[in-house]
A and B are shown apart, each in its own frame.
Chain A
Amino acid sequence: MNGQTFLSALKSQFNGEQLEFAGEATLLIQREQLLEAASKIREMGFERLSDITAVDYFPEENPRFHLVYQFTSLANRATLGLRVPVPGTKPSVTTIETVYPNANWREREVYDMFGIDFAGHSDLRRILMPHDWEGHPLRKDYPLGYEEPQFSFNFDEIDVRKPYAKE
């Protein structure tokens, strides 16, 4: 259950920074090295990409996002976490779809929710939100949205603003 040995090997090769929390070791590398690191991880026997997600650290700008990857190796019985910082202006990294095919949808989800561009991706469209949606919902500067409570005294006033089909 420990990717420690693999992590040390990767750390020296990619000059990464090792983060430790609650017994989980994660490697932080620069985004230019992502594809190379993913191929290396695949070679080391991590045959599965479990997860890709992102975290938005708004109002930080550089880096604003962290991409978080989770890899699993059945043969070595190990898991490995990888973090990649991405700046807020023109956020972009290389796709790892060529190494792990199931990155396709996971990268589309991150693109949809955070607006991070994956260069070289074969089909980078929105996946969960409608294709003409504006904004990226999981960014921290994107409002959660709310519904105004309607009571008898202000029913008509709020009804005017309510976004549903009228006549």
Chain B
Amino acid sequence: MAQIEEANLDGMAHLVTKRAIKGETMILNMGPQHPSTHGVLRLLLELDGETVINCIPDVGFLHTGIEKNMESKTYQKAEVMTDRLDYMNNTGNNLVYCLAVEKLVDLDVPVRAQAIRVIIAELQRLASHLVWLGTSALDVAAMSTFLYCFREREMILDILESCSGQRMMTTYFRPGGLWRDVPAEFEDAVREVLKVMPKRIDEYESLLTKNPLFIDRTVGIGKISGERALAWGLTGACLRGSGVAHDYRKFAPYSGYEQYDFDVPIETAGDVYARYLVRIHEMRQALRIIEQALNKLPMGPVRSNNHKFVPPPRSEIGTSMEALIHHFKLWTEGFDAPRGSVYVAVESPRGELGVYLEGDGGPKPYRVHWRTPSWDNLQVLPVLSKGCLVADLVAIIGSVDIVLGDVDR
């Protein structure tokens, strides 16, 4: 049995005020197991009464070494790990990883696959925002919204399940296209979402947007100006809630986003309520994109026919020697990527999700780094929460919409 050492806090003394050292203020531990920290986030709070003087986030409880693990797997096999990063945005993680691999090896994606990727990614954005809406409303004591949101999320997860066989850890997008084409019932299921959701979003709004209790808890709380939000590297709804219209789908369109007509909603207040409004509007915009993509969904293949990188269809393997060899080579050795590095970013529900991928000429990535939006959005928490009450801190954590799997990787 190892000796338990007394904690030495000298190395952290610079993080608190002098009053804390004298014992005038209180240091309180919030988390890592706390219902409102949305996962295993630990916050050290320096409190004067109920006022937060200082907040020191402590992350890493969910660190699983995904970056290190991916270096030991071939490009195809490493993709399975990407689902586990931001577990509210699984297909979005797949998407950015596939885009990076495709850029690294210079692989084309058929247009049908691109359109389906857009539909699925936007559905996932809806699902992610629904979880955010439910849980962050729950944090400020609006219980019923949570139940409604999870009801609608289930519809979306059913679609993902029908496409990929999995509700969450889909690995549905593959380098060069998709795992397989969408099933026959896909279009009807998505149309159903398109039909139901606008009314349901109005319903959520009728519960919250003009609710005096909700407004009391959110307006003017956790404010940040657009300039500071940029300097602190915020992205996604946190940045757009501060009046900066930055969206990677417009900034550097990928997967054919430039063909679709949609707005980037912004609010200027920069508080919890502004971030709430932005995400609500984003849900409506996501529906717009899905509808356009579905209406002009092109026919054709969903996988690139470059069999040096994409396995041939199962039906060919029995009849073509070449297909069999390709299949065998791909699943035993993988494909080689050239020496070089790429940085690809997409707009995840939380902001700029980037991946830095470096190849060394072999079948395994030499280095994979994930630039995750939650990392920066959480880093700014001490700035947002300075001087607020502990109860407001809970609302702020909800509004920055962190996923700890995304922070810790």
Residues on A lying within 8 angstroms of B by beta carbon are: 1, 21-22, 24, 26, 47-51, 53, 55-56, 68, 70, 72, 74, 77, 79, 81, 100-102, 104-106, 113, 122-123, 125-131, 137-138, 142, 144
Contact = CB atoms under 8 A, between A and B. Distances in A.
Nearest to A81: B343
Contacts, number: 97
Interface string B326-363: 00000000000000111101000000101010100000
B408 interface: yes
B366 interface: yes
Given A1-B252, A74-B246, A127-B60, A102 B343 contact: no
A21 B63 contact: no
A24 B343 contact: yes
Contact of A144 (B69, B104, B375): B69
Contacts of A130: 60
Nearest to A144: B72
Nearest to A105: B379
Contacts of A129: 60, 63
Contacts of B341: 21, 24, 26, 55, 68
A12 to B, nearest CB: 24
A104 B264 CA distance: 29
Nearest to B358: A55
Contacts of A79: 252, 343
A128 B408 contact: yes
24 contacts: A1-B252, A21-B342, A48-B233, A53-B369, A56-B367, A70-B343, A70-B354, A74-B244, A74-B246, A77-B251, A79-B252, A102-B231, A102-B380, A105-B375, A105-B379, A113-B67, A122-B14, A123-B14, A127-B60, A128-B63, A129-B60, A137-B65, A144-B68, A144-B69
Interface in B368-409: 369, 371, 375-376, 379-380, 408-409
Interface in B180-238: 230-233
Contacts of B60: 126-130
B24 interface: no
Interface string B309-330: 0000000000000000000000
Nearest to B230: A47
B376 A102 contact: yes
Contacts of B72: 144
A116 B134 CA distance: 41
B1 to A, nearest CB: 8
Interface in B49-68: 59-60, 63, 65, 67-68
A113 to B, nearest CB: 8
Contacts of A144: 68-69, 72
A137 B68 contact: yes
B337 to A, nearest CB: 11
B233 A100 contact: yes
B342 A49 contact: no
